[in-house]
Amino acid sequence: MQVSQNEIYRLAQRALEASGAGYGIDRDGAQVVAWLEARGLPGLAMLADALDVMADAFAPLAPPQRDGTAGTLDLDGRPAIAWAGAAMDCFALLLGDGRQAALTLRRCRWPSFLLPSAVQQAARSKPLKLNWRVGATQIICIAGGDGACRIVLEGGDVEPGRLFLDGAPADVMLETPTRNARATARATPVRVIDAATLDAALQLSLSAGITVDDAAWQRVAAVAARVLVPATSDSRARGAGGGDANE
């Protein structure tokens, strides 16, 4: 199934709204899904899985803990798409005008949802690194100040699709890099998805559309349909929102 970024955005926004996301959070989350899909990463499939556990995802969290330029925010098993913006806000506060900062996100599900927000944050301030484990595999995402990013998968299973779709709670470290990112590519087995690969996928999606998984699309669409007004003879005749509001 071939779709555009805008179609993915609109579907994801409605699904998040139907799941309880407030205005703005639903749109930020939809942008995350479209960003990932446009670069060949499984944003829609991750969203389809996350929607199954979205109950109470937007309820208040415990306050973050801070110790100087280091902090901890416990997501309590919530999907990262629900709290990506808040996590980056916390990191920005820790960073301030300094050179180093580190934020640990505890019990974060589908951490790959954080990547687009990390790229935006890095472009506004300093390079940023995300780091978490799935089983024996270390996942390291480095976002540069130029808006580019690279993903390094070290050890164990280095298949991106399976790793990104793993929804088990993980502890994620967000930090300003302290060493050359190329040093992370020395472990074996290793797979690197560099900035050029992600950009090539983006250019292809812009010219030819995005191929999405039909099953994932239908799962998200079923949730998104909850915010649509049921069709009636009046709505077909007058259009959505038609008629007299005083009737």
Domain borders along the chain are 2-229
pLDDT: which is higher, 183 or 1: 1
Q: Residues 117-139: pLDDT tens digits? A: 999 999 888 899 999 999 999 99
The Cα 133–Cα 92 span in angstroms is 23
Model confidence at 241, in pLDDT bands (50, 70, 90)? Answer: low
Nearest of 218, 159, 193, 210 to residue 35 by alpha carbon: 210
Q: How confident is the model over 232-246, as a mean pLDDT? A: 55
Whole-number pLDDT of residue 103: 97
Start-to-end CA distance of the chain, whole Å, equals 42
**Cα 236–Cα 238–Cα 243 angle in degrees, nearest 5:** 130
Q: How confident is the model over 33-58, as a mean pLDDT? A: 96
pLDDT at 185 exceeding the cut of 50: no
Q: Residues 56-88: pLDDT tens digits? A: 999 999 999 999 999 999 999 999 999 999 999
Whole-number pLDDT of residue 215: 96
**Of 57-66, 91-100, 165-174, 189-198, which gets the smallest average pLDDT?**
91-100
Q: How confident is the model over 96-118, as a mean pLDDT? A: 93
- Alpha helices per DSSP H over the chain: 5-18, 25-38, 43-51, 84-95, 115-124, 160-165, 195-208, 214-224, 233-238
Whole-number pLDDT of residue 170: 97
Q: Residues 10-20: pLDDT tens digits? A: 999 999 999 99
Model confidence at 236, in pLDDT bands (50, 70, 90)? Answer: low
Whole-number pLDDT of residue 234: 61
